[in-house]
């Protein structure tokens, strides 16, 4: 049985007023909270045990998800009393995670259909963590011109495959806990350290759906993608 950790303690300031009365993972996309879509996605790959790391307005997410039985999964909660950052939040769950051979970690604000089994299988004995990478999607349309300045084509928000971004989906071994800060973000602390030691693997996913819900525009576009069947769970 697989294990997944959901980072659900963020304030979601850029999505206010929607996050004034709920944590960001509880913001609805196409009629369901982000966190529910995430559980549905990971269930498809055999994940049945979830550890939800909460903080801001924790009761909202706990009341909604409960034990997880309604969704066919098991859910445990670890609460941070003050914001600890992504690295600190995972470190705060050390009592549970140190007993698990390997576990998935995801940011609580993404919608994706990445095959996490590929990521799980990439974590060989050489590494302490594998991270999913996706091509950067331009936030703007791109115009192509020829040498004479003639406009030849318009591309609507293309993928820029020369640049990869962190997809916020990871697989980790418990030994990574020794590298985590008590307070701080894993992207700024642990990952650079692991990379310098050759202990961090990156796995590129090109033909997948991936969006981070950071703005109201993201919310509208992802909701439409789900309703139109662009991404399926």
Active site residues per annotation: 157
Q: What are phi and psi of 141, to 5 degrees?
A: -70, 150
Tokens of 206: 């090109």
Measure Cα distances from 233 to 1, 27, 119, 190, 209 in Å.
20, 18, 18, 31, 11
Q: How far, in Å, CA of 25 to CA of 9, rounded?
A: 9
Q: What are phi and psi of 51, to 5 degrees?
A: -115, 110
* Burial of 79: CB neighbours in 10 Å, binned 0-12, 13-18, 19+: middle
- Where are the alpha helices (H) located in the chain, listed in sequence order? 34-43, 58-65, 85-92, 94-97, 116-122, 190-196, 216-227
């Amino acid at each position: 049985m697989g294990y997944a950790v959901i980072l659900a303690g963020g304030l979601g300031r850029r999505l206010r007023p929607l996050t004034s009365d709920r944590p960001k993972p509880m913001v609805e996309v196409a009629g369901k909270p982000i966190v529910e879509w995430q559980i549905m996605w990971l269930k498809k790959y055999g994940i049945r045990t979830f550890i939800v790391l909460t903080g801001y307005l924790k009761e909202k997410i706990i009341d909604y998800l409960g034990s997880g039985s309604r969704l066919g999964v098991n859910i445990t909660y670890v609460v941070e009393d003050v914001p600890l950052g992504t690295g600190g939040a995972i470190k705060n769950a050390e009592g549970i995670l140190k007993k698990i051979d390997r576990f998935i970690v995801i940011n609580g604000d993404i919608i994706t259909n990445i095959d996490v089994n590929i990521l799980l299988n990439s974590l060989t004995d050489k590494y302490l963590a594998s991270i999913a990478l996706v091509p950067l999607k331009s936030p703007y349309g791109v115009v192509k011109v020829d040498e004479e300045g003639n406009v030849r084509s318009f591309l609507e928000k293309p993928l820029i495959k020369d640049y990869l971004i962190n997809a916020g989906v990871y697989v980790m071994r418990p030994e990574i806990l020794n590298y985590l800060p008590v307070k701080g973000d894993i992207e700024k602390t642990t990952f650079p350290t692991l990379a310098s030691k050759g202990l961090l693997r990156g796995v590129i996913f090109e033909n997948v759906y991936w969006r981070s819900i950071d703005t109201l525009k993201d919310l509208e576009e992802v909701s439409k993608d789900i309703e139109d069947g662009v991404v399926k769970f």
